[in-house]
Structure 1
Amino acid sequence: MESTNSHFDGFPIDFKEINKEDFPDFSVSDKVVISPNDDGFIGQAIIDNIDLQEKNTVVINAAVGQGKTTAIMEVVKDYYDNTDYLIFIVSPFTSLVEQYYKKTASIGIPEEDIYRYELIGKDMSRDAWNSRVQIATVNCLLGNPGEESLINSEAKRNYINYLKRMCEESGKKVVFIYDEIHDSIHNFKERYIFNLWKWKNVIHKNFILSATYNEASKVVIEYLAELTDDKIQIIESERKVFMDKQSELFLHFNTASSYSESNDGIQAIVEDLVRKGKKIDILSYSKNLADKICNNIDSGIGKLLFDAFGEINNCTSDSKYSFGDIFVNRYNPEKCNVGTNFKSGVSIEKEDHALIIILPPLGTKGNLSNYGIFSDGVNSIIQALARQRTKGEIHIVLPPPDKFDSTTLMMSEELKERFMDSYEVHQDYKASNDRLVQYYSFNQQDELLKTFYDEVIHENVRDEEQHIQTLSRENKLSLTFPSYKNYKILEGEKYFPKYHKFFGGDLSSFILYSALTNQFVNCRLADTNAKSLLIFEEGKIQWKLEQFLKEYLDENFLWLLQTTTSKYFYNYLKDEIFSNYKVFYKDSVGRKEIIKDSHKNFEQQLIAFVQRKFYPQNKIFNFQFYSTSGFVIDASYPRGEYLMSCISHALKMNETPDDILDSDKLVVQAYLDLNYFREKMLNSIITTRRGQRCFPNDVPENFILPDEMDRYSRMIEVLITYDPVISKNLFDFKNLFTRSNYSQAERIKGFYNYMKVDFFKGKAKKFKSSTMNGYYFIIEEDVVLPDSNLVMNFLSVEDFSIPEEAMPTLIIDADGNPFIQYLNGDREAFSIS
Structure 2
Amino acid sequence: MINLAAVNNAGSNNISLQPTLLRFIVKNNTPIDYFQLDTAIIGMDKFEVETLNIALNAGEQINAAQHFQTIDHQRTETIVFNLPVGVGKTTTGYQLAKKYQQDGYYVIICSANTALAQKDHQELSKHFSTQELSSFSHIQANDSTDLFHHQLATAGVKAPVQIMTINCLLQNPGEDIYEQAFHHSSYLDNLLQTITNTNKKVVFFFDEIHESVIHFKNELLPYLMKWRHVTHKCYIASATHSPASIPVIRYIAYLTNKRIKIYDSPRIKANTQASLHLHISTEQYNSKRLFPLNRIATLIQSYNSRKINILVGHKALAKALTNERNQQNRLIGKILGLQPNICIDETANIFNEQEHNIGTNFKSGINIEDRRSVLIIVLPIVSANKNDHYGIFNDGAAAIIQAIARIRKGGEIHIFMYAPETIIALATQLESLDDKLYEGKAGVSPMKFNEAYAKVKALYENEAARLDPQITFLNELAHDTPALKYHYPTFQEYLLDKSQGILMENYESLGKGLSAFVLWASINNQFTNATLRTIELISKNFQHVELQPDNIYQTLFHLLTDEQRVDLAQQPFKTAFENVITYIQKSKRIIARERNEIEEAIYTNRFFYEGKSINISALRKIAPFNLAIITIIYYLKQGEHKEISKEEYLNTCIANIDHASGEDPELTTAYSRFREMKELFLVHFEQNMVTNRSNEKIIHQGYYTNLPDSFILEAIEVINLLKRTDAYLNCPYSFFQDKKQQLNAENIAEAKRIIATEFERNFTSIKRISENKRTHNGEVKKYYLITIPIVKDYQLPNTIFL
Q: Is the 8 A contact 1:252 1:532 kept in 2?
A: no
Distance in 1 between residues matched to 2:590 and 2:396, nearest whole Å: 35
- CA separation of 1:603/1:79 partners in 2, compared to 1, >3 Å: closer, same or farther? closer
- Counterpart secondary structure, 1:317: coil
Please tell me whether residue 371 in structure 1 is matched to residue 368 in structure 2: no
1:420 Cα deviation from its structure 2 partner: 2.5
Q: Give the partner amino acid of 2:53.
A: V
1:531 Cα deviation from its structure 2 partner: 4.0
Distance in 2 between residues matched to 1:36 and 1:586, nearest whole Å: 60
User: Which of residues 274, 278, 281 in structure 2 aligns to 1:251?
Assistant: 278
Name 2:36's counterpart in structure 1: 17
Q: How does 1:482-521 map to 2 (within 5 A)?
A: 482-521=489-528
Q: Give the partner amino acid of 2:45.
A: D
Please tell me whether residue 78 in structure 1 is matched to residue 109 in structure 2: no
Q: Is the 8 A contact 1:143 1:151 kept in 2?
A: no
Please tell me whether residue 303 in structure 1 is matched to residue 333 in structure 2: yes
Distance in 2 between residues matched to 1:343 and 1:9, nearest whole Å: 26
- CA separation of 1:564/1:371 partners in 2, compared to 1, >3 Å: closer, same or farther? farther
Distance in 2 between residues matched to 1:212 and 1:477, nearest whole Å: 40
Q: How does 1:329-348 map to 2 (within 5 A)?
A: 329-348=349-368
- Counterpart secondary structure, 2:322: helix
Q: Give the partner amino acid of 1:601.
A: E
1:564 Cα deviation from its structure 2 partner: 9.8
User: Which of residues 453, 459, 482 in structure 2 aligns to 1:452?
Assistant: 459
Distance in 1 between residues matched to 2:263 and 2:592, nearest whole Å: 57
1:249 Cα deviation from its structure 2 partner: 0.8
- CA separation of 1:40/1:4 partners in 2, compared to 1, >3 Å: closer, same or farther? farther
Distance in 2 between residues matched to 1:288 and 1:69, nearest whole Å: 30
- Counterpart secondary structure, 1:153: helix
Query: Which deviates further from its counterpart, 439-448 or 457-466?
Result: 457-466
Name 1:28's counterpart in structure 2: 48
- Counterpart secondary structure, 1:480: coil
Name 1:57's counterpart in structure 2: 78
- Counterpart secondary structure, 1:31: strand
- Counterpart secondary structure, 1:306: helix
**Under a length normalisation based on structure 2, what TM-score does the superposition of the two structures give?**
0.63
Q: Is the 8 A contact 1:262 1:300 kept in 2?
A: no
- CA separation of 1:31/1:329 partners in 2, compared to 1, >3 Å: closer, same or farther? same
Distance in 2 between residues matched to 1:270 and 1:508, nearest whole Å: 22
- CA separation of 1:369/1:601 partners in 2, compared to 1, >3 Å: closer, same or farther? closer
Q: How does 1:107-122 map to 2 (within 5 A)?
A: 108-120=127-139
Q: How does 1:738-777 map to 2 (within 5 A)?
A: none
Q: Give the partner amino acid of 2:523.
A: L
1:422 Cα deviation from its structure 2 partner: 2.6
**Under a length normalisation based on structure 1, what TM-score does the superposition of the two structures give?**
0.61
- CA separation of 1:356/1:574 partners in 2, compared to 1, >3 Å: closer, same or farther? farther
Q: Give the partner amino acid of 1:238.
A: P
Name 2:400's counterpart in structure 1: 381
Distance in 2 between residues matched to 1:113 and 1:338, nearest whole Å: 33
- Percent of pairs with identical residues: 27
Please tell me whether residue 238 in structure 1 is matched to residue 266 in structure 2: yes
Distance in 2 between residues matched to 1:339 and 1:312, nearest whole Å: 9
Name 1:756's counterpart in structure 2: none
Name 1:467's counterpart in structure 2: 473
Please tell me whether residue 68 in structure 1 is matched to residue 86 in structure 2: no
Distance in 2 between residues matched to 1:659 and 1:534, nearest whole Å: 32
Q: Is the 8 A contact 1:47 1:75 kept in 2?
A: no
Structure 1 gap segments, 5+ residues each: 321-327, 408-415, 536-560, 592-598, 607-652, 666-801, 807-833
Please tell me whether residue 395 in structure 1 is matched to residue 373 in structure 2: no
Q: Give the partner amino acid of 1:215.
A: P
- CA separation of 1:249/1:135 partners in 2, compared to 1, >3 Å: closer, same or farther? same
- Counterpart secondary structure, 1:274: helix
User: Which of residues 521, 537, 542 in structure 2 aligns to 1:530?
Assistant: 537
Name 1:640's counterpart in structure 2: none
Q: How does 1:155-554 map to 2 (within 5 A)?
A: 155-242=183-270, 244-260=271-287, 263-277=290-304, 278-295=306-323, 296-307=326-337, 309=338, 311-318=339-346, 328-361=348-381, 364-367=383-386, 369-404=388-423, 406=425, 417=428, 419-423=429-433, 425-427=435-437, 429=439, 431=441, 433=442, 436-455=443-462, 457-471=463-477, 472-532=479-539
Structure 2 gap segments, 5+ residues each: 1-20, 543-570, 605-631, 644-727, 733-802
- Counterpart secondary structure, 2:474: helix
- Counterpart secondary structure, 1:112: coil
Q: Is the 8 A contact 1:43 1:70 kept in 2?
A: no
Q: Is the 8 A contact 1:11 1:517 kept in 2?
A: yes
Name 1:143's counterpart in structure 2: 171
Q: Is the 8 A contact 1:255 1:532 kept in 2?
A: yes
1:48 Cα deviation from its structure 2 partner: 2.8
- Counterpart secondary structure, 1:111: coil
- Counterpart secondary structure, 1:204: strand
- Counterpart secondary structure, 1:349: coil
Distance in 1 between residues matched to 2:37 and 2:587, nearest whole Å: 48
- CA separation of 1:145/1:378 partners in 2, compared to 1, >3 Å: closer, same or farther? same
Q: Is the 8 A contact 2:525 2:532 kept in 1?
A: yes
- Counterpart secondary structure, 1:346: coil
Query: Which deviates further from its counterpart, 384-393 or 44-53?
Result: 44-53
Per-residue CA deviation, residues 544-603 of structure 1 (Å, 9 max, x unaligned), is xxxxxxxxxxxxxxxxx999989997995684479xxxx9989457x9xxxxxxx96335
Name 1:662's counterpart in structure 2: 640
1:527 Cα deviation from its structure 2 partner: 1.0
Name 2:63's counterpart in structure 1: 43
Q: Is the 8 A contact 1:280 1:353 kept in 2?
A: yes
Distance in 2 between residues matched to 1:350 and 1:513, nearest whole Å: 28
Kindly tell me the number of residue pairs found equivalent between the two proteins. 557
Per-residue CA deviation, residues 517-544 of structure 1 (Å, 9 max, x unaligned), is 1111111111101343679xxxxxxxxx
1:223 Cα deviation from its structure 2 partner: 0.5
Name 2:789's counterpart in structure 1: none
1:426 Cα deviation from its structure 2 partner: 4.8
Query: Which deviates further from its counterpart, 219-228 or 144-153?
Result: 144-153
Q: Is the 8 A contact 2:208 2:237 kept in 1?
A: yes
Distance in 1 between residues matched to 2:422 and 2:572, nearest whole Å: 29
1:111 Cα deviation from its structure 2 partner: 2.6
- Counterpart secondary structure, 1:493: helix
Q: Is the 8 A contact 1:356 1:397 kept in 2?
A: yes
Query: Which deviates further from its counterpart, 373-382 or 264-273?
Result: 264-273
Q: Is the 8 A contact 2:310 2:377 kept in 1?
A: yes
- Counterpart secondary structure, 2:374: strand
Q: Give the partner amino acid of 2:329.
A: S
Distance in 1 between residues matched to 2:216 and 2:237, nearest whole Å: 16
Q: Give the partner amino acid of 1:459.
A: A
Q: Which has the higher contact order (CA 8 A, sep 6+)?
A: 2
Query: Which deviates further from its counterpart, 54-63 or 38-47?
Result: 38-47
Q: Give the partner amino acid of 2:30.
A: F
- CA separation of 1:805/1:221 partners in 2, compared to 1, >3 Å: closer, same or farther? farther
Distance in 1 between residues matched to 2:416 and 2:731, nearest whole Å: 33
Name 1:734's counterpart in structure 2: none
1:393 Cα deviation from its structure 2 partner: 0.9
Per-residue CA deviation, residues 76-119 of structure 1 (Å, 9 max, x unaligned), is 111122x111100001111111210121122x211331100234
Distance in 2 between residues matched to 1:248 and 1:88, nearest whole Å: 38
Q: Is the 8 A contact 1:518 1:525 kept in 2?
A: yes
